[in-house]
């Protein structure tokens, strides 16, 4: 099944809108516990389980039992620069696989199932392939879906960083890609395999080395790099690296592959009661560059203070007293919080060594226990600004040629061409006031806060 299946790029956002907040109540009838296999979702390099939030909601909206959907959260999600050399705060391919194996074992024990479905984005697909071929996953996995996984490398340049797991000419990927049969297939049964890729808009499947800091150098990788010979290879026009997993159309392809039929809906069906939870995390310090202060990890930030407020959908101003005030414990968990469906929220994190972080989000249509919140640090260059505001889109990138986006009433400046950046920052003046961000129909309103008080503002898109 090597012929790529080309699909159009549909609207990747639910206009917080009709379908998302369509009437509430019940999800579409779907498979029961006996028929629905457990699904384990594996995030990408430097990412968190939280990115699967909308995907889980779509499965639930089709009746998939919530207890059969499990998104893992790798404590140290970044790969090593050289896979064979220990590096503080980072995981090797072997460690990544071992963590996935342990999580799969937990899910099998909890559900009583004999097999799981694995769905991975980017680096998550590396761990899935490694587990299936080298960790016993050929017996415990029925389906493997890889979104944007650089199966043939982000680069394939002989002699260039070949110890890195993303090198197409390095030992890790060469071993995984070794022919599995006389036909030269790169996958084998009994696991059923599917890849999802962009036609040309994945920053990590590009013929030029721009996104790896090697502009003008051929990577020897093409847009077809995520495909695997012998798998079902789906191509979706226009999507970016993260949208290969987290978009509406990626969900549609994934659901069809697992079940053999179309989902009853790709919308997110609202619930009457919404309960939110997650953990508060911080940022490690890169020992090789201590001044960066942005070394991603998914470790709890115990002792952090969190407040949650309902906000006005138009002005971003707080409405009433705090819905929650809590001190985060050793596990990092901050909830549960019962919230009104569709009411936007402001999350405020305070912790020693961090900026007071104001995170504004659209209203939540469904419950979730992976609302992970990360405290931010303020860059030295921002400390003299009136305010520092960032539009951020965790589940996709910003593409000026493709997307309609506004930040404080104007297209955000400095966003590079192509889908290569997931955030845009401005330093608005004018004292505390309303500030809004819009992205393809989703609108988030917040308030500016004084940078001189050590405060930063994040306007976070959910879709």
Question: Which tens digit of pLDDT belongs to each residue from 170-222?
Answer: 999 999 999 999 999 999 999 999 999 999 999 999 999 999 999 999 999 99
Which positions ≥6 away from 152 have C-beta within 8 Å? 168, 173, 177, 221, 225, 226
From CA 392, how far away is CA 327, in angstroms rounded? 25
In angstroms, what CA-CA distances link 330 with 74, 294, 304, 385, 399?
A: 17, 21, 10, 34, 39
Which position has the token pair 């079902």?
A: 232
Residue 295 has what pLDDT?
78
In angstroms, what CA-CA distances link 365 with 60, 268, 400?
A: 12, 7, 28
218-223, Cβ contacts within 8 angstroms, sequence gap of 24 or more: 218/157, 219/153, 219/154, 219/155, 219/156, 219/157, 220/153, 220/155, 220/156, 220/157, 220/168, 221/150, 221/152, 221/153, 221/154, 221/155, 221/156, 221/168, 223/197, 223/198, 223/199
Asked if residue 90 has a cis previous peptide bond (ω within 30° of 0), the answer is: no
- Polymer length in residues for the chain: 463
Query: Are the C-beta atoms of 119 and 38 separated by less than 8 Å?
Result: no
What residue spans of 112-149 are helical by DSSP H? 123-134, 137-140
From CA 128, how far away is CA 145, in angstroms rounded? 9
Residue 453 is classified by DSSP as G
Backbone angles phi and psi of 51, in degrees to 5: -65, -20
Residue 19 has what pLDDT?
36
Element at 147 (helix H, strand E) = strand 141-147
Chain centre distance of CA 308:
23
Nearest one of 437, 396, 440, 441 to 420, comparing CA atoms? 396
51, two tokens: 């990115």
Reported pTM: 0.94
225: region left, alpha or beta (phi > 0 left; psi from -120 to 50 alpha):
alpha
Query: Are the C-beta atoms of 76 and 67 separated by less than 8 Å?
Result: no
Query: Are the C-beta atoms of 187 and 178 separated by less than 8 Å?
Result: no
Domains of the chain: residue spans and CATH: 5-259 (3.40.50.1820), 274-460 (2.60.40.1120)
Other CB atoms within a 10 A radius of the CB of residue 185 amount to: 17
Residue 31 has what pLDDT?
64
**Coil, helix or strand for 405?**
strand
Which positions ≥6 away from 452 have C-beta within 8 Å? 383, 384
pLDDT in tens, the chain (463 residues): 454 656 665 444 433 333 333 333 445 566 665 679 999 999 999 999 999 999 999 999 999 999 999 999 999 999 999 999 999 999 999 999 999 999 999 999 999 999 999 999 999 999 999 999 999 999 999 999 999 999 999 999 999 999 999 999 999 999 999 999 999 999 999 999 999 999 999 999 999 999 999 999 999 999 999 999 999 999 999 999 999 999 999 999 999 999 999 999 999 999 999 999 999 999 986 655 555 556 789 999 999 999 999 999 999 999 999 999 999 999 999 999 999 999 999 999 999 999 999 999 999 999 999 999 999 999 999 999 999 999 999 999 999 999 999 999 999 999 998 899 999 999 999 899 999 999 999 999 999 999 999 999 999 999 9
């Amino acid at each position: 099944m090597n012929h790529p299946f080309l699909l159009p790029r549909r609207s990747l956002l639910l206009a917080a809108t009709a379908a998302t907040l369509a009437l509430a109540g019940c999800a579409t009838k779907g498979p029961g516990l006996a028929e629905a296999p457990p699904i384990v979702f594996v995030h990408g390099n430097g990412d968190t389980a939280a990115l699967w939030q909308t995907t889980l909601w779509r499965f639930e909206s089709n009746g998939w039992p919530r207890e059969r959907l499990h998104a893992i959260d790798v404590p140290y999600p970044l790969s090593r620069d050289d896979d064979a050399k220990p590096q503080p705060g980072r995981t090797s391919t072997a460690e990544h696989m071992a963590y996935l194996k342990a999580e799969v074992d937990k899910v099998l024990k909890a559900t009583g199932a004999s097999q799981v479905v694995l769905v991975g984005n980017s680096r998550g697909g590396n761990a899935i392939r490694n587990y299936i071929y080298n960790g016993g996953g050929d017996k415990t996995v029925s389906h493997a879906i890889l979104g944007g996984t650089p199966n043939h490398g982000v680069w394939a340049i002989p002699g260039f960083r070949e110890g890195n797991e993303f090198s197409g000419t390095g030992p890790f990927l060469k071993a995984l890609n070794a022919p599995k049969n006389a036909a030269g297939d790169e996958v084998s049964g009994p696991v059923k395999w599917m890849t999802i890729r962009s036609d040309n808009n994945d920053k990590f499947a590009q013929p030029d080395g721009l996104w790896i800091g090697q502009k003008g150098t051929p990577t020897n990788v093409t847009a077809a790099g995520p495909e695997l010979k012998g798998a079902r290879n789906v191509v979706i026009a226009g999507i970016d690296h993260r949208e290969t997993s987290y978009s509406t159309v990626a969900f549609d392809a994934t659901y069809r592959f697992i079940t053999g039929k179309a989902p009853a809906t790709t919308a997110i069906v609202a619930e009457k009661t919404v309960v939110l939870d997650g953990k508060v995390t911080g940022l490690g310090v890169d020992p090789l560059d201590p001044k960066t202060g942005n070394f991603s990890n998914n470790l709890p930030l115990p002792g952090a203070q969190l407040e949650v407020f309902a906000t006005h959908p138009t002005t971003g101003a707080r409405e009433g007293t705090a819905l929650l005030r809590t001190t985060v414990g050793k596990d990092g968990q901050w909830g549960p919080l019962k919230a009104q469906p569709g009411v936007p929220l402001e999350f405020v994190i305070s912790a020693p060594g961090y900026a007071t972080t104001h995170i504004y989000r659209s209203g939540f249509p469904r419950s979730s226990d992976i609302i992970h919140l990360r405290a931010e640090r303020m860059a030295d260059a921002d400390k003299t600004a009136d305010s520092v505001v960032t539009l951020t889109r965790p589940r996709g990138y910003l593409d000026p040629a493709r997307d309609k986006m506004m930040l404080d009433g104007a297209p955000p400046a400095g966003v590079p061409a192509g889908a290569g950046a997931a955030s845009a920052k401005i330093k608005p003046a004018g004292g505390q006031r309303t500030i809004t961000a819009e992205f393809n129909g989703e609108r988030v309103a917040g308030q500016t806060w004084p940078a001189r008080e050590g405060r930063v503002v994040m306007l976070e898109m959910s879709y």
